[in-house]
Amino acid sequence: MSTSVQAPDVTHIAPREKAEILSQALPYIQRFHGKTIVIKYGGNAMTDPSLQQDFAEDVVLLKLVGLNPVVVHGGGPQIENALNKLGKKGTFIQGMRVTDEETMGIVEWVLAGEVQQEIVGLINQAGGKAVGLTGKDGAMIRAKKLKLVDQKDPTVEHDVGQVGDIESIDPSVVKALQDDAFIPVISPLGFGKHNESYNINADVVAGKLAEVLNAEKLVMLTNTPGVLDKAGQLLTDLSARQIDEMFADGTLSGGMLPKIASALDAARAGVRAVHIIDGRVPHALLLEVLSDQAYGTMIRSK
């Protein structure tokens, strides 16, 4: 018995307006046809049922019109819930989750099991062909223990446990799936030289994967309108120099640090457009990629 997704209600839109919307998408479809788009999936878009369905439909539509979406997901709230149920409290240093051996086992179970399979199921239900991967599949993400240097005192190094720093990414398994019309859904888990597991920040994995896949775009879904200045105003366009200044004066901090750093690294490495967008906006991904509407911040290397 086949399952179909309920189509969005567009009866209130006049036929002429519908045609206008579709015609506006055409040049973007033509420009990005055959191109890879890496999507970091997180925030409310991962936990709100309506936004989950919007996201799945967006990913399937992008694939159907000829783009190659690759999804990298987080799972912070889900990991936190699992830890709480076991009486463990998560701790963070400079936006990185401290991951001891017991926590690592929970992280693997949540990310590669519960979270990944839910995303795969949503995309398949929406008519796509999603396949779940971790960094261990196809020897994709080789990692080593992260050395986290203190932001204020570079002589201090924090031990964050089994948190990984990417050594290399072999994208061949992702490319093979793309060539066969599948949509890869990747959990941010890597492996070391002794087959030990590492928890890697999903923003970092998305950024590095975008680099090695020579992606046209890296799109990061967040729970904010984008990057905000100290007054809380949205900054729609940021250069590397402006970002360095915002790091220096403390405008950027906490969980936004790895996100911005990964976006900037990807832009400097040749990813043509990096966007940090508001995942709370219905169909934000589709609007960002296939229209001239801006729902966040674009990061430029210069």
CA distance 53 to 51: 5
For residue 192, say whether it is annotated as part of any ligand binding site. Answer: no
135 annotated ligand-binding residue: no
- 81 assigned ligand-binding residue: no
- Tallying the residues shown for the chain, one arrives at 302
76 marked ligand binding residue: yes
Residue 8 tokens, joined? 């969005």
Which residues face 97 on adjacent strands? 92
Residues placed in the known binding site:
75-76, 97, 199
Residues placed in the known binding site for substrate:
75-76, 97, 199
